[in-house]
Amino acid sequence: MPLEFRFPDVGEGVVEGEIRRWLVREGDHVKADQPLVEVETDKALVELPAPRAGTILKIAAGQGETVRVGQVIVVIGDAGESLPAGEQARRQSSTIVGDLEGTPHELTLDRAETPRAPAAKGKVRAIPAVRKLAQELGVNLDEVRGSGPDGRVLHEDVVRAAQRGSQAGTTAPTVADDAEIERVPMPRLRRTIALAMVQSKFTAPHATTHDEGDVHDLMALVARQRADFQRQGVHLTPLPYVIKAVVQGLKVEPYMNASLDMEAGVILLRKRYHIGIGTDTPEGLIVTVVRDADRKSIIDLAREIAELTERAKNRTASIQELTGSTFTISNYGAFGGNFGTPIINPPEVAVLGVGRAREKPVVRDGQIVIRTLLPLSLSFDHRLIDGGISTRFLLKVMACLEEPERLS
């Protein structure tokens, strides 16, 4: 019997994806586990394998189409087998995570949302910050189904509504001199980044503190170790030491390694240290995650950072490698930047921006000496983090960087 292969639940809250490229054509014979299609989700670019051997009878989703979890994307059967009319709802269905009975109308429901009746006109329940976010994103609150208590519209409801609107497409405004304008389609990743940044800025009241850490001894240590690391196939930079210093800071100030559940009125203190690293890719910024950074050596961190960076740029990183961070580092110093005001990566409560280390004259013991200083910019969620916590955290990070031998 023909088998309907449905877009699977790939985890981490992903409910839809965009077909990037089909690797097979109708009529092709495929083996079990052979890659069928590349799908881009909000998190990663993934290949979906064939659940069984057979012939591709029908490709049900075209390139560039957005598909939701549970939606049929391809039908696989035996050579010469046809698709009987009216039989689709009764045929066997499958995903890569198990078999499903064919009930398409149930499977295409976004499980992140609970069906509710739309609020009556003029009676939308939403706090002012949510209303402001909706206005910025061009979302009509009257048409949003609230998932909060008593149908209250939450920030995530507005963001989901904005995502649906952006995928449906908009009409560009008319401009007098169209010949001078190039219209470039906004990639899915770029749309995801844009919506996440707006949500972060309108949810968390950002504050940023700046300082410079003395990394003169650290740079000397990295220079001494680089050749030895190179012989082991690893390129060493100061970043693994920054990660180690951040972990020490998080241990001193545990509220920096937390997240907020405002609906429940709960602070979630994370007991593990999963450090996100902002990674520049051709399609936009991706945060890769070094899990349990406190348990890894400098060489292990350096090797993992390089591997994650490569997979992120090739869009082959797994969902686990792109989600679950508890604190993020944005290393714009790699591009020559100094200070910045980085935006928090939700649901975290802080992000550390790292600038370019350079030599400067400083006063030490009454004498002017040349030292290597590292610009640091710490943005934090002022709902939870105050100046005292943020300053103590940053001072601890800088103190650790000044004595790098202790971080190894």
Q: Which of the residues are catalytic?
A: 382
Could you please report the per-residue DSSP string of 198-225?
A: HHHHHHS-EEEEEEEEE-HHHHHHHHHH
* 349: number of Cβ within 10 Å: 27
Both structure tokens of 402: 């000044």
H or E stretch at 166: helix 155-168
State the residue for tokens 């993020």.
Answer: 328
Task: Give helix 387-402 / helix 216-231 axis angle, nearest 10°.
Answer: 60
Residue 176, C-beta contacts closer than 8 angstroms, at least 6 positions apart: none
Question: What's the rounded Cα separation, in Å, for the pair 80 and 286?
Answer: 44
Please, what sign has the CA dihedral across residues 352, 308, 98, 70? positive
Please, what sign has the CA dihedral across residues 140, 146, 148, 149? positive
Both structure tokens of 131: 């209303």
